[in-house]
Structure 1
Amino acid sequence: MVQKYQSPIRVYKQPFELVMEAYERRFPTCHLIPMFVDSEVLEETESEDGSIHQVQRRCKLDVDAPRLLKRIAGVDYVYFSQENTLNKRERTLHIESHNETFSNRVIIHELCSYSAHPENEDWTCFEQSASLDIKSFFGFESTVEKMAMKQYASSIKKVCVPDLIRVIFIRH
């Protein structure tokens, strides 16, 4: 059964460019997001006029799962592929992510979007959706499904853009 998550639209009272700078500084790691262990840029391109910037990353996550489940699965970390398209002219960032680890058993797909607020150019909107489809997971399908969605929703609440901006810009 496919589990779906759709966040409400969040509005950050910071300009798009500041939010993007803070977002970029999260890579390759960010101490404010402890489950985000590492990332590697696989491909990066920019349009001739510099208005479109595309990045493909491989991200390493330390998922908060029971030790027994990690042992059964034979992994300590999970890997995700992430493709970002930043359009500086339109002031949008589209992020598409999917899992590499267990992709034959579990399909995780996430879409995120940052954009300048339509009524206030000094604010930024954020939207997020995700789906989880567990095909087979050693007989633990229901448990893994519930745990994954619970952790996903919990991790989203922990990462606050204004906090990232404050900490990142104070430290640099």
Structure 2
Amino acid sequence: MILRRIESMFTGIGLAALIILVFSAATLRWLGIDMSWSTDMAQLVFAWVCFIGADLAMKQKRHMGVEILTDKLPVRMRNSVYLINSLLILVFLVFVVYYGTNLVVINYRRSFNTLPISYSFVTASAPVGSLLMIYTITTRIFEYLKNFMTGDYSNLETNSDDEGGETI
């Protein structure tokens, strides 16, 4: 719950910063004032907002899905589909963490054109965001396994506004 709040605040502040950066750069460019550093800063903020926002969407079960297919399935089979899908997502996220960490190491000497910081700050968003999503998807996998063990699938049948609908 606390992590979700932190992610919500981070993405909200990040999106506001993106809007301010891009709008002010465009406006100042129109007036003939160079603000070229804002493009690099916007790229940095955008990468982090995307990955942290992806975990936030996953926590709230708001990722895009094709519910029209799974809604027709019996609830036990739907749980199986969600479990298999979650395991595939987990495998993909492990690859992103592994290769993303390598990319962070490779890019430590590379710097932005206009900012005096390493480009690794951008590439670090992928493994960090993926680690957060691994935590989220792992808890979801345990929920699906618990559903099988207890035979209680009520968490798949509810569609509250707080949690959002289950999607694959």
Structure having the higher strand fraction is 1
TM-score by length of 1: 0.29
| TM score, norm. by length of structure 2 | 0.29
Higher relative contact order (CA 8 A, sep 6+): 2
Q: Which has the higher helix share?
A: 2
